[in-house]
Every structure is written in structure tokens, then in C-alpha cells.
Chain A
Amino acid sequence: MSSEKKRVKGETLLEIRGLKIEGNSDGVWHPIVKGVDVSLKRGEVLGLIGESGAGKSTIGLAAMGFARPGCRITDGTIMFDGIDLRKASEEERRELWGSRIAYVAQSAAAAFNPAHKLIEQTVETAVRHGIMDRAKAEADSVDLYRRLQLPNPEKIGNRFPHQVSGGQLQRAMTAMAMSCRPDLIIFDEPTTALDVTTQVEVLAAMRDIVEQFNTAAIYITHDLAVVAQMADRIMVLRRGLEVEQAPTREMLKEPKEDYTKTLWAVRKLAKQESISEDIALRIHGVDASYSGVVKVLDNVTVQLPRGRTVAVVGESGSGKSTLARAITGLLPPSKGEIYFNGKPLPKALKDRDKDTLRRIQMIYQSADTSLNPRQTIRDLIGRPIEFYYGVGSAERDRRVAELLDAIELNESYIDRLPGELSGGQKQRISIARALAAKPDIIICDEVTSALDQIVQEEILTLLMKLQKDTNVSYLFITHDIATVRAISDEIVVMHQGKVVQQGPKTQVLNPPHPAYTELLLSSVPEMDPDWLTNLLAKRSKAKA
């Protein structure tokens, strides 16, 4: 295995100078990228990293001479192999797109056209640019599918996008980008939507093929550990400006700027684990299914102690969100019992009394969709207070103010609408809404997944503080191991509807592991640039 990229870097391929981009919101143009320089040699991989709003995707697209609708490139030069992309005509750019510069989007499921077979979409560019005839392009696609280790490379092209998995789709999209052997590929968060176990294969496949064809790439991500595996050089961006830039190993070893250092911070957050025998919620042998045919939960037994946090971790499709639906009564279990404070909990939502409903609350992944955009913060947080406690409006406002204080927001927010708040603030409002009922248990379903790392840390810290103050129990559903490490006392590992392992955090995170836990934990990218190489070597050795 080649851990070190031994490729000879050639002459400069891409040279961006003083790039400025503006975005339009409500008719007002405001800066998104405020003067950034990027230069890239042939065969070099540059990682662009930053939080949302840093402008990394916008810069990536600008490297193609493209600005999304509602954005415009206002200043700077973009030279690609001697062609000024800002001055080039639409026609000239279209000649380059797909053939010499290709794009790999974040969500392959959305970026593939659902109406056409994979092979149609893979060969489209090569055929329309006249680089290959159809038969040759198809044969070449099969070859690319094979190189990207897609299963059944001869046949998989005949499938429609919905017929293959997310990881396979992302590799097929890489094949599509490679079809014309471009000089430059823009990878725009290509693995963000994937599970960690799938991510490993996709990262490996993408890295290999870029190396094989000596393609230059811009790799955009918010995950430092991922970019460490992929990039020769990393550029950290914040609010449309470059923070610092350095070769990968140098950057990881000693980041110079404070901001770069804070990007590491969330990984250090870790709650001191504490075990309790006082069980608030006991799920015993629960089965559940949506259609009645496939069991989404299969004999699940989980215990949630009072005032503690149990993290439920697993890939998409492991049944973790279904477990939440079973507990809340939205999906009554077909078998098994749920005991709440020692008493059996009525299975269906409609059989539960108001007090039981009050005691189990929920916080969702997307505050954007779970908060009614037309209600003020007063209504959003005040509604459960009125509903469960039947208090008057003065008392309600007093409680809302108290809760705003608890979530560290100013009282002046009370008359605002969710649309006026940032993502982190909205998630705080969701937390306050759940707390307003004074529940025994809060089920947190991927509540930090949509947030930037720094905001994640703030939310996790807040949740821990609130737990200390109110002795509430959290059932914390997540796919992110760093978050698990940060917040949990106990961990439940789920896979295909079954509980693989439950135990105190230190026990689950340390060997010996059951096979699946091992796979899951070993797939979490680490900040070491050799991590992926070593992992693949270890896995292939284990297989042999």
C-alpha cells in the first residue's frame, strides 16, 4: 500500500486569485467569499475545510467557473490550464465541464437522475463531448465500475439509481466524473451522507482512482479526519476567508491559528461516565415493523437509568429511530413490553394519559422542520406549558423566560420567529420546548447531526448542564461516535434491528468488541493521515 502519495506533482493546473462571490437573499447582495486564492498543481489533492457558511462549496463550484443561481462571482481571476474561466463563454465552459473538470455532488441519491439507468448517465458526457463512441464508453464505464470495486460491474450499470445503495451510488458518481479522465475533479462533501462503515470503502475507492489517473482534485468537507486521508494539502476556510493553509501532515501536527485548533475541540469533549441502577425506562423484548413483514426492531431490550444518558448508535436502517417511535407510542410494538417508572406503558399513543405524555418528550434532528415557522418562540415554548399545566399567560411568559435563560438565550428572543435564528439557536429552542413539559425522559434523535462541530459542542454541553439541573434522562440516538463519546453514560449498539451490545461507555468503547461494534468503531476516521491506509491493510490481512 502506498501511504505516502509518491506522485510527481506537475505544473500548476488551477490558479484562483482574489476570488469574491456574492449571494442574494431577499434582494440584497452580501459577500460569501471575500477574496480567496487557490492554486492547484496537476495530480494534487487540495482539501477545503470549514463550517457551513465558510464558502467552501461555493469556491469549489467557482473553480469550474460556475456560480449557483442566486450567487455571482464579482471579482478575481480563475485560470484553468491557461483558460480564463471568468471570461470564457458559456459554450467554452460547457466544453470543459464533464470532460476536463468534473463534479461529484454531496448526495448521489439526489444528483443522479431517477429516470435514467446508471450507465446512461455515466457515458453521457463522454459520448456528447465526442470523446468516445457509445460502445467504447460503456465498456470503459464497466472498467471504471470495476476499479471502484462496485459489485457486479458488468450489470450494475443497468440499474436505476433507486436500485443501488448510497455507497454504491456515490462510487458510481465518481465513475461518472472519471468517464472523460478529467484533469480536475471537485468532490463536494461526497461521503457526508453515508454511514461510517460505508464511508471507508467509498473513501478508499475515490482515493485509489484519483491516484491511478493522476487527477487533481479539490476535496470539500467539514470533517478534518476525512480530509486528512484524502488531501495532500489542506486549506481551512472561515466566513469566506482563508484561515490557513499547509500540507496535510504539517497542518495536523501543528495548526497555527486558534480557529483551526477549535475545530479539534469537540473531539476532546467527554462526559465522565456514571452508572445508575434506578431505571426510568425499560424496553423489554420489543418487536416492531411498519408493514408487518420485515421486523425493524427484533427483540430489543434496552434500559434507561434516571438522570443518565444512553446513546443508541448504529447505521441508517439499524432501527434506532424506530425505537424512538416505539417508545413514544407512534409505532406500537407488535411484541414485548415497555416499562416506565416500573409500570407497563400503554403501547399506543392514544391510550396514554396526559401525565404520561408529558413525561416523555422528543427533540428532532432538524429544528428547521420541527419548529412551526409561523409561531413565535413564545408560542413554541409556551404551548406545552399551557397544555400540560393549564397556566395563565403571565405565568406562561414567566416560565418561557426561565427556559430561555436555561438554554442561554436572551429574553428578548421571546417574540422572534424561528426563521430569524441560527441553526444552533433553533435547536436550543427545540430543547426548551421539550424541557417545558418537565419530562422524565427526552428522546434526542440525531439532534446534533445537522450542526457544525463547534455548535455541536455547545449543544452537547448545554444538554449535559440541563441534565445536571433537572435529572432528566436522555435516550440519545446518533450515528456519530464522537458525539457518543462526548455525552453518554451507557451505549447501545444496534444493527439491523437487533441490539448488538449494551453497556457502560468505557466497556463498549474498549476491546474486546463484538464483531459489529469492532467494524463500526474501526470505521470512524481518525485524525491520522495514515489511518485509512493502515485500516485497509489490517482488514485485508484479517480477510486473508
Chain B
Amino acid sequence: MHPVLKTVLQRLGLGLLTLFVVSVVIFASLELLPGGFAEAILGQGATPETVAAFNREIGLDRPAFVRYLEWIGGVLMGDFGYSYAGLGGSIKRSVSELIAPRLYNTFFLAAMTAIVAVPLSLLLGVLAALYRNSWYDRIVNSVTLTTIATPEFFIAYLLMFFFAIKNKWFYTLSTVSGSTDLWEHMYRAALPAITLTLVIVAHMMRMTRAALINLLASPYMEMAQLKGVPRREAIIKHALPNAWAPIATVIAFNLAYLVVGVVVVEVVYVYPGIGQLMVDAVSSRDMPVVQACALIFAATYILLNLSADIVSIITNPRLLHPK
């Protein structure tokens, strides 16, 4: 078997193991949360008797490990269980059914942002490395540092103020539903996407710049120069192919953030993503939904990091073409 394939399979296996450990951690930490679904739903009327009766009804009276096994067994077969909300009534809502449209929205926004932000930050980073210590470099650095240092809700409100209220180019609210068509969806998600782009460009751009500058002093870059290769071409042809590994790691990290860390932006623009769903589920102690969200987040992290690993392997001839 090719060593690269072997490494990828190994990492994948390790990822699955991590996911399993994460599932235990998620389940255990949710068990530790004070209060339960019953208390949350019954509110002031929660007497010990009603709480006990409620718990019995949704199966919370059974020991934790039984419930864990039941849950993880279901997950392995693609069944995330049913939301507690509505369990007692006539409309049972499956977790998958609840999550699917939200997850789609989140991925939609993440993809939209990534398509703009990743090439943009690579371009800005390469240019910053090329014109190091120039005015351009300083301006790009300070602007991106400012956007990353500003709280994202503040950027969100600023953009909303200027582009949705002062100039009515966009909607203030980004409500979408299953019936929204693609272009309309993109239009409505534009402001959140711009906000997120401003938040993540700094990291990726700075890493691109740093990784390239790190290589500029290497003997093969001097060699390229002494072979008559112009600076711009040397950076793209000779430095960039050796810089992918650290850049890919930072990109993966930021893409993961786009999926798991955007709740604030979602709330500001009232965009129906998975972050809001999870926050709501936590406050109502709707554990099956919380667990499913957390597991999806963990899987996203693991998969993106795995892709970064794969990128660093296939861009490294030492690993791709062993002796």
C-alpha cells in the first residue's frame, strides 16, 4: 500500500477513535449540567413528583450508561433519536429532521464565506510577502489585525448599519427558509458572509505571509534569484509549494470555526443556522439535539484537520515520493 494512503487511513482511524472519546465527553458533561429538561420545561410548576413523572416519560430515569449506549448505538446506525420537545405529545420530531435544514444553512454560509475568504487571504498573504515591509504590507496587516481584534457582533452591526440601514443594499435580517431559492439565499447571507470573511481573513493571510517569509531566506530561494528568476515568480513557483502545510492547517482551523463558531453572527442577523439551534437546545436542556450538534461539530473539526494533514502530506515530496 502506498505510504500516503496508509497514513491517511491511520489518521482516519484515529479520527474515529477521537470521535468516540468526544461522544463520551459530550454525554458525560451534559449529565453534569445542573437542572434537566423537565425543570426547564415545567418552570415554576416543577414539583419533585411532576419532574419524576416527566423524566420517566422521556426515559431519563434510567442509568446514564444505558442511555449512552442507546444513544451511541442509534448514532452508529444514523439515528440521532428524538427531540425531547414534543416527545410526550402527538408530534414526535426526530433530531435529524430538526438539524438537517439548519446544518444546510450553516454549511451554505460557511461555503460562501470560504469561497471568498480563502483565495482572498492567500492573495493578500502572497502580496504581503512579496512587498514585505512596504506600505501595502503595513496597511494589510493593520487592517486585518483590526478586523480580527474587533468583536464580531460589532462588525456585524456596523455592516448592518452602513449597508442595510444607511444604504438599503441588503436586508438587516437574513431569515431564510427551505423555500428560499439559491440566489435569494446568497443575497440574504451576504452580510453574514462578509462579516465572517473579515473575521477569518487575518489569520490565514498572516500565516501565508509568515510561512512564505520564513522560506525567503532559504538557500534555494537565493539559488532561484541567482538563476535569474524574478522575485514574484520565485515566491509563487519556489516558495509557495513548500509553504502549503502550515497554511493548510490555519485554513482548516478557520473553516472549522465557520461551522462551529458562528453563533454570534447568526444571532445578530437572525440567520437560522445550527449554532442558534444548539444554544436554544442547551437552554431548554434538549439533550439529544445538543449531543447531535456537538458530535457534528467534533466531526467537522476532525475532518478538516484530516484534510489539512492530507494537504501537507501530498505537498511534501519527501512523503509522497519516498526514497
Which residues does A use to contact B, with CB under 8 Å? 64, 66, 68-69, 94-99, 102-103, 105, 107, 110-116, 124-125, 128-129, 160, 162-163, 176
Please judge, given known A-B contacts A162-B318, A162-B323, whether A103 and B228 are in contact too, CB under 8 Å: no
User: Which 4 A-B pairs rank lowest in CB-CB distance, beginning with the nearest?
Assistant: A115-B241, A98-B227, A98-B228, A97-B228
Q: Are B317 and A124 in contact (CB under 8 A)?
A: no
Residues of A contacting B4 with CB < 8 Å? none
Q: Is the CB of B229 within 8 A of A113?
A: no
Chain A residues near B230: list those with CB within 8 A. 94
Which residues in B have their C-beta under 8 angstroms from that of A66? Answer: 225-226
The reply to whether B219 and A96 form a contact with Cβ atoms under 8 Å apart is no
Interface residues of B in 212-252 (CB under 8 A from A): 217-220, 222-230, 238, 241-242
Asked whether B166 is an interface residue with its Cβ less than 8 Å from the other chain, the reply is no
B218 & A110 in contact (Cβ 8 Å cutoff): yes
Flag whether B62 is at the interface (Cβ < 8 A).
Answer: no
Of B217, B238, B315, most buried by chain A (CB within 10 Å of CB) is B238
CB under 8 Å from chain A, chain B span 112-148: none
Q: Which B residue's beta carbon lies closest to that of A99?
A: B228
Which of A97, A112, A128, A160 has a CB less than 8 Å from the CB of B226?
A97
- The answer to whether the Cβ of B2 comes within 8 Å of any Cβ in the partner chain is no
B227–A116 touching, CB < 8 Å: no
Using Cβ atoms and an 8 Å threshold, which residues of chain B touch A113?
A: 220, 223-224, 238, 241-242
A350 to B116, CA, bound (A): 56
A residues near B222, Cβ cutoff 8 Å: 68, 105, 111
Pairs A–B under 8 Å by Cβ, sample size 19 = A66-B225, A97-B227, A98-B226, A99-B228, A102-B226, A103-B226, A105-B219, A110-B218, A111-B219, A111-B222, A113-B220, A113-B224, A114-B242, A115-B238, A116-B241, A160-B318, A162-B317, A162-B318, A176-B227
User: Which residue of the partner chain, among B223, B224, B227, B317, contacts A160 with CB atoms under 8 Å?
Assistant: B317
Minimum CB–CB distance from A39 to chain B (whole Å) comes to 22
By secondary structure, the B interface counts as helix
Instruction: Give the A-binding residues of B (Cβ under 8 A).
Output: 217-220, 222-230, 238, 241-242, 315-318, 321, 323
- Which residue of chain B has the shortest Cβ distance to A109 in the bound complex? B219
Q: Choose among A95, A116, A176 the residue with the greatest number of B CB atoms under 10 Å from its CB.
A: A116
How far is B229's CA from A176's CA once the two chains are assembled, in angstroms? 14
Q: A176 to B323, alpha carbons, bound, how many Å?
A: 22
B223 pairs with A103, CB closer than 8 A: yes
Residue of chain A at shortest CB distance from B216: A69
| Bound-state Cα–Cα, A98 to B316, Å | 27
Q: B229 touching A124 by the CB < 8 A rule?
A: yes
Given contacts A162-B323, A163-B323, contact A114 B317 (CB under 8 A): yes
User: Which residues of chain A come closer than 8 Å to B220, judged between CB atoms?
Assistant: 110-114
Which chain B residues border A176 with CB–CB below 8 Å? Answer: 227
Q: Which residues does chain A contribute within 8 Å of B229, judged by CB atoms?
A: 94, 98, 124, 128
A94-B323 Cα distance, complex, nearest whole Å:
35
Given contacts A68-B222, A105-B223, contact A114 B228 (CB under 8 A): no
**Which A residues touch B217, using CB under 8 A?**
69
Closest-by-CB residue of B relative to A158 is B321
Contact A95 B228 (CB under 8 A): yes
Q: Is the CB of A115 within 8 A of B317?
A: yes
B residues less than 8 Å from A103 (CB atoms): 223, 226-227
Min Cβ gap A60→B in Å is: 11
CB distance from A173 to the nearest CB of B (A): 8
In Å, the complex CA distance between A110 and B225 comes to 14
